[in-house]
Amino acid sequence: MGIEKIKMTSLKKPKSEERKEHKKEKNSNIEFVSFFGLFRYGTKIDLLFMLIGTIGAVANGVILPYMMLVFSNIIDGFTDYGKVCNITLLTNTSFSDSDVNPLTSRLKNQIFYLIILGIATMILSYFQVAFWLMPAQKQARAIRKALFSSILKQDIGWFDVYKSGELTNRLTDDIDKIKDAFGDKFGNAIQNLATFVGGIVIGFVKGWKLTLVILSLSPLILASAIMFTKIAQVLTSNELKSYAKAGAVAEEVFSAIRTVFAFNGAQKEHKRYEEKLDEAKKYGIKKATINGLLMGFIWIVINGAYALGFWYGWTLSLNNDPVTGLPEYSIGKILLVFFSIIIAIFSLGNAGPYIGTSATGRGAAFEVFKIIDRKPTIDTSSEEGNKPVDVTGNIEFNNVNFNYPSRPDINILNGLDLRIKHGSTVALVGSSGCGKSTCIQLIQRFYDPLNGSVKLDGNDLRSLNVKWLRSQIGVVNQEPILFSTTIKENIRFGQDDVTDEQIIEAAKNANAHEFIMSLPEKYDTKVGDRGGQLSGGQKQRIAIARALVRNPKVLLLDEATSALDNESESIVQAALDKARLGRTTIIVAHRLSTILNADIIFAFESGKVKEFGTHADLMSQKGLYYKLVVTQQAGMKSLASLDKINPIIEEKSKLNVEKQVSIIGDKLLEIDLKVEEIKKKEKKKDVSMFKVLKLNAPEWYFILIGCLASIISGAVQPAFSIVFSKAIAIFSECDVKKQEQSIILYSILFIVFGVATFISNLLQNSMFGISGENLTKRLRSKGFKTMLKQDIAWFDNQENSVGILCTKLAVEAAAVQGAAGIRIGALLMNLGNLGIGLVLALVYGWAIALTILAFVPFMIVGGVLQTKMLTGFSGKDKEVLQDAGKISIEAISNIRTVAILNKEYYFWNLYSKKLDVPYKAAIRSSNISAFMLGFTSSITFYAMAAAFALGSYLVENNLFGMTFENIMLVYSCIIFGAQSVGQASSLMPDYAKAKTAVNSMFELFERQTKVNNYESTNGITIEDKDFKTDISLESVEFCYPSRPDAKILKGLDLKVKEGQRVAFVGSSGCGKSTVTQLLERFYDPDNGTIKLNDINLNDYNLHWLRSKFGIVSQEPILFDMSIHENIAYGDNSRQVTREEVIEAAKKANIHDFISNLPLGYETNVGSKGTQLSGGQKQRVAIARALVRDPKILLLDEATSALDTESEKIVQDALDRAQQGRTCIVIAHRLSTIRDSDVIYVLQNGIVTEMGSHEELMNLGGFYAKLNKKS
């Protein structure tokens, strides 16, 4: 693969430097693969097919120049019959009937040749199109597979830089552009080049002098094409990068849709998305204008060649051959040479648009192949490295220094040394960001240390096979990631060859079996996108089962029980205690009660081990660990001293009620299938393309100018035909002076036509470029906006997963351009050419014109059938490619989980199988499209044969005043009109894709939603002084729309008074978090009412209502922007000042950490906040909630991810923040809710206990039992 001049720009910059980077990009050289580099994935069969396709294209291209030979013979026949004046004057002969007969006989042979050429065109067109399309489809599939494979095997440091949305855009849009560069469009380019070469050869053979003169202008075409193409390549590359950025924004927003809605961020995100689209639009308009300049300039040169060629051909016709005494160039010879060269130049002009397509494809290919060719520093696919037979589990860190590739200025580990003996349980403790989780990532070999080494049983991890190493490790992370498949398959991800019995055993050990068995589909229940159909605790237990099922030698537990309720935690903790026997276990924990029995505890500070020892040893030293413990003990208040805590294991305490409460995903699979079946039965409405054009209404004046310019471009050809026929006829004029005057006049007119075509082409491309790019932007923007209007239930639907939505935005809006924008101009130009040409043909030779029109229905039927069939195939392809996109986004977004589970091949294989379905359909559509295109192309030849047959008869019998000049005019209209039909036919595949995309997009646009999450203009708003935060839930019943048979709330009644601190307690899945989602109006109750200030929530203005809540969720979601922007996101109704952001950060105990970063508050947190530790992310999320100064605080395990040192301070901050506010707390850690005014115990969707801590303890019920275990 060849690569042109390379100069890379930085892949990632802080938000504050975006404008600087943008300016640099303008001046940087853009990279492209060489032309032959596009075919790097072609197999021998593909090459054979492309060879056949090339032979077909070349032969098909040669047919037109060969037809000129036939045409010249027809002209000679007419000339001989009409007795061209100069021969008549010289010989003064008269003709008898016997002299006429040879003409009829000769034309019959030529007409027969035209029919043969038509048949040949049909066959060769099929081979040309089908045998280029089929390998193109195959290679596009191969590139997609190779790209996805390469992405999956990249090191984690690379993913810290690349955005997942950008990568998925490469998999969809960019590869489509590559396919266009070597598909049927490239076959058309070969055909046109073959026509060019064939015409040139005939020109040189038959009349080299005239050929050289006409070709003298061709260097201008070549030079302009090279210059304009280079500019177009730069613009194309920048356009692709902008669209990739827009795709990244969309992926990020859909992945965090609840956070976006909770903070009224839909409009802000829409604006952010539009900013990226505006960049792409700007480059697209410039590219269209450049293409207009190129095509216009080419037409000026071509028309200049006409002028020069006719004038010089006339001078040559005046010279006699010294041997024969006849003119050196006869009229037939002049016309043969001239037509051959002009058609050759026309073909070169027609090949022009494919240069742009090739440039686009080569630019996209560079970005794609760059990823494919990248050799990761840690290659998961490599078979290199040792695979020891036995693993004991000794781990060593020797003088390890490390910083993350995305943040090279911040040292995380500074000469870390520690030893972990096999079979021992080791705990890592310390403040957030001190390097605990980094150690876990280094052991998994997500990164390699900058200096020093990490060893397993004395072997440097870098010397071990990566897959083998990870297969020895079981990991349970703080934020569990599940995949969109069944519970059984999620657990099986831990180990491929496990039996169903082993899966069940692992689930039992993780305390997950009972809730799984309560589901209708049990272990075959689908968990949804990112496990969204399960509660946090249920997800965590599945993740633990997944780790246990692989029976690992090393167990890494990063807050493994943080999401569990107290009842489940003690049982799961006991299971983990049992599971770690005989294994090396490393625990990262903020909850020190879970690590008291660790063999060694390492206390971290500033990337080093500050102290280590047992719990008792470290407590006696009264150092760093002691301070952490004392801080946490103070938070636990009256709970037993930490050194006496010993979790009580009561297997019998598993509540039977959990079987009913956590019915997650009832009938989920069955419902999904029913919905899918209903949708298939529904007849989708066919949307008129005029409806799309209405979206272009703001650009009506651009469209009007573009339409007029297109019609003028089309009208130039028929007008040209009139002048052209007269210029040919003038050669029969006897008076040389009159000939000279006429030739000069017609030459000037040719140049005038060239200037007119230049202006009309420039206006056509630039005007439709503006309107088309605005339409694309508007469709993407409207699609994104419409998606942001939808209710949460819509996003819960499997058909609206993040991957599918991103694919829809990336592919469908672009596909609509197949029937809009510049293609409208091309269609109008072709229709203008054909329509005006036919009118002229009717005027100058109506009989011949009507004969041609008899063939038009065959062309139309062929085109319609082709479009119908392609539309059907395109629709099927779209659905399956969306499924493939869903798989790719799921894998890329959760790459760390995929990597540690060694599931790269699994997801690649799943993705590959999804690609196989559209590939097979594409092969069928390729053959049908090729046949139909060949059929419609051949009709032109049959029409020409009929026209000349009739014309010869009319001239011979002197009917309707038919003359040689009229026949030439009609013929000119025919040949240029035929080219228009051919070009219009080539747009059919694009139109078919556009039609499918339009139907899909308008189905989205017209969807009615109960709750508009984008904008809220209706509903009540209340002045703060009159607003009371009394909350009441009255007989509330609710089930998630995606699970209508699983009732979560069953007549829930509770009240929260203004200023109260209320806590919800209960088993995982009992409905605690559901209440907060109802308060945020993510959903509305099925029955009953929820009131705020004694007013039904549904009566409030939605955005105003949400602005009164501040929410901190269990799994904090941050955006790929600066820390300042993430905190300011808490209030999107106004511009939040830096002072307000700093104040909120101080309250959340994150200010000092931020201030010590090189870029401070302008530090980018990375995709989903990956550049921060869990505790740091949570504190930023808390600051985000506080910055909006909410009336009501919703805290869903708000401090669960904080270390002991930070938790007390943050809890104090939250306590202060709660003053004067109503606060609802959901907590598994009962120590954080003891001071609540009211504690509600939820079981089976209703309140079973309520009261203060003391009251509930005295009651001796469920709450009291939970406290005994905590």
pLDDT tens readout for residues 189-204: 888 889 988 998 999 9
Averaged pLDDT, 376-405: 88
Please report how many Cα atoms fall inside a 13 Å half-sphere around the Cα of residue 1226, on the Cβ side: 27
Per the listing, tokens 């309250």 go with: 1147
Higher pLDDT, residue 23 or 502 = 502
User: What's the pTM value of the predicted model, to 2 decimals?
Assistant: 0.62
Q: Can you give the pLDDT at residue 9?
A: 30
pLDDT tens readout for residues 1022-1040: 887 788 888 999 999 998 8
Q: Can you give the pLDDT at residue 1011?
A: 82
Averaged pLDDT, 792-802: 83
Band of pLDDT at residue 963, cut at 50, 70 and 90: confident
Q: How does 397-422 read in b/e, with b if 16+ C-beta sit within 10 Å? A: bbebebbbebbeebbbbeebebebeb
Out of 141-145, 542-546, 580-584, least confident range: 580-584
Out of 104-113, 192-201, 531-540, 734-743, least confident range: 531-540
Considering the chain, what percentage of its residues have pLDDT values greater than 90? Answer: 10
Superfamily holding 32-377+684-1005? ABC transporter type 1, transmembrane domain (1.20.1560.10)
Averaged pLDDT, 781-793: 89
DSSP per position, 876-929: HHHHHHHHHHHHHHHHHHTHHHHHHTT-HHHHHHHHHHHHHHHHHHHHHHHHHH
By C-alpha distance, which of 596, 633, 477 is closest to 542? 477
Averaged pLDDT, 921-934: 78
Three-state secondary-structure class, residue 1038: strand
Averaged pLDDT, 14-23: 38
pLDDT tens readout for residues 674-718: 334 434 434 455 666 677 777 778 888 888 888 888 888 888 878
Q: In the predicted model, is pLDDT for residue 25 greater than 60?
A: no
DSSP per position, 593-652: GGSTT-SEEEEEETTEEEEEE-HHHHHHHTSHHHHHHHHHHHHHTTSPPGGG------GG
Q: Can you give the pLDDT at residue 83?
A: 47
Tell me the β-bridge partners of 1239.
1063, 1251
Out of 151-160, 660-669, 1039-1048, 1079-1088, least confident range: 660-669
Q: Can you give the pLDDT at residue 354?
A: 74
Amino acid at 534: L
Q: How far is CA 1089 from CA 45, 320, 1095, in A?
A: 67, 103, 10
Distance CA 901, CA 1138 (A): 42
Q: Can you give the pLDDT at residue 103?
A: 56
Q: In the predicted model, is pLDDT for residue 642 greater than 60?
A: no
Q: In the predicted model, is pLDDT for residue 331 greater than 70?
A: no
Q: Which helix (H) or strand (E) holds 191?
A: helix 184-215
Q: Residue 25 in contact with residue 9, Cβ under 8 Å?
A: yes
Per the listing, tokens 């005295």 go with: 1258
Phi-psi bin for 1027: left (phi > 0), alpha (psi -120 to 50), beta?
A: beta
Band of pLDDT at residue 465, cut at 50, 70 and 90: very high
Out of 719-733, 896-910, 1097-1111, least confident range: 719-733
Q: Can you give the pLDDT at residue 93?
A: 46
Averaged pLDDT, 627-656: 44
Distance CA 1169, CA 1150 (A): 14
> Within the chain, what is the greatest distance between any pair of CA atoms?
133
Distance CA 659, CA 671 (A): 21
Distance CA 777, CA 976 (A): 35
Higher pLDDT, residue 269 or 732 = 269
Q: Can you give the pLDDT at residue 454?
A: 92
Averaged pLDDT, 1154-1168: 86
Q: Can you give the pLDDT at residue 1123?
A: 92
Out of 42-46, 629-633, 1123-1127, 1203-1207, least confident range: 1203-1207
Q: Can you give the pLDDT at residue 653?
A: 30
Q: In the predicted model, is pLDDT for residue 868 greater than 60?
A: no
Distance CA 713, CA 296 (A): 10
Tell me the β-bridge partners of 178.
none
Distance CA 635, CA 1179 (A): 18
Band of pLDDT at residue 100, cut at 50, 70 and 90: very low
Amino acid at 218: S
Band of pLDDT at residue 303, cut at 50, 70 and 90: confident
User: What torsion, rounded to 10 degrees, do the Cα atoms 650, 651, 656, 662 define?
Assistant: 100
Tokens of 1234: 């003891």
Q: In the predicted model, is pLDDT for residue 1157 greater than 80?
A: yes
pLDDT tens readout for residues 753-769: 889 989 988 888 888 88
Phi-psi bin for 314: left (phi > 0), alpha (psi -120 to 50), beta?
A: alpha
Q: In the predicted model, is pLDDT for residue 990 greater than 80?
A: no
Considering the chain, what percentage of its residues have pLDDT values greater than 70? Answer: 83
Tell me the β-bridge partners of 1196.
1226
Amino acid at 415: G
Angle subtended at Cα 191 by Cα 185 and Cα 195, rounded to the nearest 5 degrees: 145
Fold of the 1116-1191+1204-1220 domain: Rossmann fold (3.40.50)
Q: Can you give the pLDDT at residue 879?
A: 60
Q: In the predicted model, is pLDDT for residue 12 greater than 50?
A: no
Query: Do the strands 1222-1226 and 1192-1196 form a parallel or antiparallel pair, or are they unpaired?
Result: parallel
Burial of 587 (0-12, 13-18, 19+ CB in 10 A): buried
Q: Can you give the pLDDT at residue 1127?
A: 93
Tokens of 230: 């280079």
Band of pLDDT at residue 15, cut at 50, 70 and 90: very low
Q: Can you give the pLDDT at residue 562?
A: 66
Answer yes or no: same fold for 395-675 and 1116-1191+1204-1220. yes
Q: What is the mean pLDDT of the chain?
A: 79
Distance CA 537, CA 664 (A): 12
Q: Can you give the pLDDT at residue 703?
A: 84
Superfamily holding 395-675? P-loop containing nucleotide triphosphate hydrolases (3.40.50.300)
Averaged pLDDT, 97-126: 78
User: Which residues lie below 8 Å from residue 80, measured CB to CB, with a gap of 6+?
Assistant: 103
Band of pLDDT at residue 605, cut at 50, 70 and 90: confident
pLDDT tens readout for residues 1107-1154: 889 888 877 788 888 999 999 999 988 898 999 999 988 888 888 888
Q: Can you give the pLDDT at residue 655?
A: 30
Q: Can you give the pLDDT at residue 395?
A: 92
Q: Can you give the pLDDT at residue 563?
A: 58
Q: Can you give the pLDDT at residue 651?
A: 31
Higher pLDDT, residue 637 or 71 = 71
Sequence ranges of the domains in the chain? 32-377+684-1005, 395-675, 1116-1191+1204-1220
